[in-house]
Amino acid sequence: MRIVPAVDIRGGRCVRLVQGDYGQETVFSEDPVAQARQWHEALGEGLIHIVDLDGAKAGYCCIEPQLHALAAARIPFEVGGGIRTLDSVRTILRAGAARVILGTAAHRDPDFLQAACREWPGQIAVGIDARDGKVSLSGWLESTATDAEEFAQSVEAAGAARIIYTDIARDGMMRGPNLEATRGVARAVGIPVTLSGGISALEDIRAARTLEPDGVDEIIIGRALYERAFSVQEAQAALRG
């Protein structure tokens, strides 16, 4: 199991939102590339989770210069946020991303998801954001009747290499992750699952280790690191026991 620090970018700055609410933004760094470098150096290896918050609204990549800077610094990263076309996927991968994360578009346009998975096998992940077990779209503003576990199975069938599962009610709230919902999604599929949302203490990380036999092998951590609830090194030590 691996720790994946999150760097959310809006207006060229590193920020964190509460439950995806753009009106509840905290700026943590004026330089997201420097912040990613700090997390990467603390990790020693592994990915940085990059979210293009402006892209999520605009529908195209708004952080290409930052992505090139990350690649030039040899910082491995994945990117999500408003990726709706094959051209956008191509742009982000050419900028150096190890993975591209599709969200709303994967739900609304299954053909797009399948085409992306065919063209870039192993590099397409799908972000499933859920509230009460149902998929939410468009930056969590739109609720659906789609069951998260069933949707997970459909994206696996389409060729996705990974699922990043976020429980909306926990994201940015520092209240602990939804382990049971994450376990349900992981057990429903055969591809790896990343846990996202709610990690607030080292005990949450230790508890998340129980998900590893079900196929959960990564934990995205955002606000807890920025608010210094614990360090990257302490998080890694918690994974080891």
The domain segmentation of the chain, as residue ranges, is 2-240
Tokens of 202: 């080292």
User: Of residues 8, 54, 167, 171, which has the active-site annotation?
Assistant: 8
Say what the pLDDT of residue 174 is.
60
Average of per-residue pLDDT values in the chain = 93
| Annotation marks residue 129 as catalytic | yes
pLDDT confidence tier of residue 111, bands split at 50, 70 and 90: very high
Superfamily (CATH H level) for 2-240? Aldolase class I (3.20.20.70)
Say what the pLDDT of residue 25 is.
80
Say what the pLDDT of residue 73 is.
97
| Averaged pLDDT for residues 177-187 | 96
Say what the pLDDT of residue 96 is.
98
Give the whole-number percent of the chain exceeding pLDDT 70: 95
pTM of the entire predicted model: 0.94
Say what the pLDDT of residue 241 is.
78
Kindly report, residue by residue over 18-44, the tens digit of the pLDDT. Answer: 666 677 788 999 999 999 999 999 999
Say what the pLDDT of residue 181 is.
95
Give the whole-number percent of the chain exceeding pLDDT 90: 82
Say what the pLDDT of residue 169 is.
75
Residue with tokens 């990043």: 164
Half-sphere exposure of 17 (CA within 13 A, CB side): 16
| Annotation marks residue 21 as catalytic | no
Tell whether the model's pLDDT for residue 74 goes beyond 80.
yes
Tell whether the model's pLDDT for residue 142 goes beyond 90.
no
User: Of residues 31, 54, 87, 129, which has the active-site annotation?
Assistant: 129
| Averaged pLDDT for residues 67-94 | 97
Tell whether the model's pLDDT for residue 171 goes beyond 70.
no
**Which of the pair, 63 or 141, is modelled with greater confidence?**
63
Tell whether the model's pLDDT for residue 231 goes beyond 70.
yes
Tell whether the model's pLDDT for residue 173 goes beyond 70.
no
Say what the pLDDT of residue 17 is.
79
